[in-house]
Structure 1
Amino acid sequence: MLWPYSFDDFQLDIVGFLAILGEGSVSITAQVAALSNLFYLPRLIPAPQALLIPARKDTLEPVKANVTGIHSGNVKDHLNHVGYVLLGEDMASYTPAVTARATGPLTYVAVLGCGFSITLFIASIVFGDGMSMLATILLSLLSTLVGVANKWQLKLARPASDAKDGDAVVRYPNGSYLVVKCSEEVARELFFAPEEIEYAVKKTSTYRLIALIGTLLLMLGVIALANARLELQFAWAGAYILINIAQWIAAALPLRLHWDLSCYEVTERSMRPQGPESNNFTQALAKAIMFAGTADWVRKDTGAAPNSEVWDQWLQEADDAVKEITHEPRGELIDPVFSGLEQVAWSRCEGKMGCNQAGD
């Protein structure tokens, strides 16, 4: 049986293959990573080919949900990505206020990759390995080139100066409701206006030229790496394994850890004692109507309730009952969804809403 009995018997001719592994985890955080200036940092990155696609995305990835404006009448069949990160995952201005976190998980991954590049460059000089040094330069500069090609900022729409309340109701496919009390400016940014991506490199032809150069750097870097000393190939293999692990961990973390949404102030409101959970659809809808302050939005969202005379009568009764609520009974919020934020708890449903018994 053939086994490597000495160090010289090891063969790592395909160590360059490790440089292109990890495309899935890179793709998940690719857009938010390109918001940070650290994206320009020369460093080792796993699967750079995932960032050298022929065409870039023009918008952020939306999430399936129904969003209805309580006062504006706007209706959308999806939830914008920023709104999902801010509100939906765990439960305003014309200039870009939303960006990547300066000290988020991707920051540490970028610094780690830069540290590996510096270490491998120094090791290549110490061992006198020109091919390893060339591979370090090519594969590290590739990340800077990728940063230039993909750097972008979020362009949010600016509402008219006379815009008023922009309260909205988000209905998820699983039957959950999220009532958002906000201004029209915030509602357009989070829910109704398109999330347009404004790239630093605007011309498609320029981007494709940069992508071509990046692809050549990747191929030449892998060829140079295949001709490096065996000792340094082991170092390269370890570096790519560790950077892939770090990238995978960063991709597995909640999305809100990567985004800087400090421009929005969130106060959570819920209900005691049962909290946000409901026993059935009717109870959940009753709570949504109570927090919205009206039932008019239900018919704007065609799938929010069945279309029948019985339900029309129930909605009218719910609308009449919610208007009898004259104040918000306050209390301590138990088990908040958004931990660390200001919270307000309604101690009960007032009037004739009967949220605790709704649907019984």
Structure 2
Amino acid sequence: MSWFPIGPDDSGGWRLDIVGLLAVTGESFIHDQAEAITSSATCLLPRLMPAPQALMRARRPVALESETAKVCGVYSGVTMDTLGFFANLIHPLDELAPFSFKVLRIVYTADLVTVRRGEAVDDLDNGGETPRLRRAKTVHGALSNFTSNSPLFESANKDVGAVLYSPLNIVAFSSFLLTIGLVGAAAYWNDGTALLGIALISLSTSIIGWAGWWRTDIRSRRSLSKVPDGDVVIRSREGAFILVKCSEAIALELYAGIQECHHRIQARAYRIFMMIGALCIMPAVVLFGNCTFNMQILVGASYMILNLVYWLIGILPRRYHWDLSRYTVEDITPVDARNAHTVTDENDPHEGMRSFTRTLWFVIRETKRTAWVVRSGSAPSTPQWRAWLDEAESAAYKTDRKWRAVRRKDEIMVMSSEELSRAQTTHGN
């Protein structure tokens, strides 16, 4: 007798009846990427996909998930407790080290498009407006219609969808081709059971994908009146800060607005499609367990490979799946603040050590304001802290970048009420 079964012999060989369960495993991989999968039209492709039931939800999400963080407008005064989905893709909070600090400038990509007149100098020597210059002006004019200064701004270029060649889209199309190959193999071996099972599971994937298909709608400012800048400060739970310099329109889209999910079918139809999809999955699992041994090997191997691929995709940063080309992001963190999360001078127990106070001072130094600190709860509301904030704002306004913020905080914290009052009087004078 052999220690291991040999061949697909029913009397003691390999049996792969459990292969149907592979079709519904890997639910966590699919659930974590459900929004990205159903945001693209590739979700409509009939194909093998691990655990398509992971896309079935009793209630469809009405808004994209947000990250817990304190977000405060430097000039607007608007304060929120969550960071929007797309904002967290642009600058992920989980990539920030404790007490780190970044200054980012975010602008509309379309606003950066300019007519480079130098390219048309030679043509202009001939007199008149050349076709090249006319084309440049036409492109620039068309793109400018999608900027915050355009009357069309309230409805133009609002959608931020999946990248055409994102990893999920590539896998979706590849699995579609794989499914066609399995159908051909089932037909070659005259395996009607496998053929019907593949057809049902592929149909369920397409139906469920159609039911969950959605698009984004980023709320934009409708009024074209002059408003202050939309700079915002984001504070993570670990004490890291991001200062975003942007227009009020971008601040509304990424930070103050709600990034909604607009589903393409109505809620009642959604429930019907979910039911149909579930009814297709159940018999498909049974059929996979009763197809021929060769098809069980192919189907089982296909699902194992797909599970591995979706697991690997889950490791990638989420921003790889989304088209954020609407925005251009530039890191403009000052050189003397880039190492806020590290020890810069071991001989200086105050300014050389990483601390929340030092990082907070770096942010105040760039914003030249402290009202946002109070509104966001980034500092205690004690008399000592209020005195320190007053001095920090004054030093920032005077562009005193070498002000010893941490040492001064330590001095103020041990002051008595009388000493604090005298210090505030001296500071005010």
Task: Give TM-score, length-normalised by structure 1.
Answer: 0.88
Q: How many Å separate the matches in 1 of 2:204 and 2:408?
A: 59
Partner residue of 1:198? 262
CA shift for structure 1 position 276: 4.2
1:353–1:142: structure 2 CA closer, same or farther, 3 Å change rule? Answer: farther
Q: How far is 1:354 from its partner?
A: 4.4
1:322-350 CA distance string (max 9 Å, x none): 1223xxxxxxxxxxxxxxxxxxxxxxxx4
CA distance, structure 2, for counterparts of residue 102 and residue 190 of structure 1: 22
CA shift in 2, pair 1:83/1:359, >3 Å: same
Residue 392 of structure 2 aligns with which residue?
318
Partner of 1:222: 285
| 1:90-118 residue CA offsets vs partner (Å, 9 max, x unmatched) | 44764433111111111222122112201
User: Structure 1 residue 263 and structure 2 residue 264: aligned?
Assistant: no
Query: Highest Rg: 1 or 2?
Result: 2
CA deviations over 1:106-134 (Å, ceiling 9, x no partner) = 12221221122011001001111111111
Q: Please give the alpha-carbon distance, in whole angstroms, between the structure 2 residues aligned to 1:138 and 1:320.
A: 70
Structure 2 unaligned spans of 5+: 97-107, 109-152, 342-353, 411-429
- 1:167 is matched with 231
Match of 1:186?
A: 250
Deviations 1:149-187 (A, max 9, x none): 011111111213224311100010000111111111111
Matched, 1:158 2:220: yes
Q: Which one of the candidate residues 52, 59, 63 is aligned to 1:55?
A: 59
Moved more, 138-147 or 266-275: 266-275
Contact 1:139/1:218 (CA < 8 Å) preserved in 2?
A: yes
- Contact 1:112 1:243 (8 Å CA) reproduced: no
**Structure 1: how far apart are the matches of 2:187 and 2:210?**
28
Structure 1 residues 16-165: aligned runs within 5 Å: 16-89=20-93, 90-91=95-96, 94=155, 95-159=157-221, 160-162=223-225, 163-165=227-229
Report the CA distance shift for 1:44/1:355 in structure 2 as closer, same or farther (over 3 A).
farther
Cα shift readout 1:276-314 (whole Å, capped 9, x = no counterpart): 433001111011112223222111112x00111121111
SS where residue 260 of structure 1 aligns?
Answer: coil
1:84 and 1:51, CA in 2 relative to 1: closer, same or farther beyond 3 A? same
* Bigger Cα displacement from structure 2, 62-71 vs 223-232: 223-232
Instruction: Give the Cα–Cα distance (whole angstroms) in 2 for the partners of residues 167 and 242 of structure 1.
Output: 46
Whole-Å separation in 2 of the counterparts to 1:57 and 1:66: 23
Residue 47 of structure 1 and its aligned partner are, at CA, apart by 0.6
Are 2:45 and 2:176, in contact at CA under 8 Å, matched by a contact in 1? yes
For structure 1, the residue ranges without an aligned partner over 5 or more in a row are 326-349
Q: Residues 53 and 278 of structure 2 are in contact (CA less than 8 Å); yes or no, is this contact kept in structure 1?
A: yes
CA distance in 1, matches of 2:334, 2:251: 23
Alignment-mate amino acid for residue 198 of structure 1? H
- The aligned counterpart of 1:301 is 376
Q: Distance in 2 between matches of 1:193 and 1:289?
A: 25
The equivalent residue for 1:3 is 4
What amino acid sits opposite 2:235 in the alignment? R
The residue type equivalent to 1:86 in the other structure is I
How far apart are the structure 1 equivalents of 2:260 and 2:56? 20
Q: In the aligned structure 1, how far is the partner of 2:375 from the partner of 2:337? A: 28
Q: Contact 1:58–1:196 at 8 Å: present in 2 too?
A: yes
Instruction: Give the alignment's TM-score, normalised by structure 2.
Output: 0.74
CA RMSD of aligned residues (A): 1.9
CA contact (8 A) 1:295 1:315 kept: yes
Corresponding residue SS for 1:103: coil
CA distance in 2, matches of 1:259, 1:293: 34
Equivalents in 1 of 2:87, 2:25: separation in Å? 31
Q: Does 1:284 align with 2:284?
A: no
2:328 aligns to what SS in structure 1? coil
State the match for 2:148 in structure 1.
Answer: none
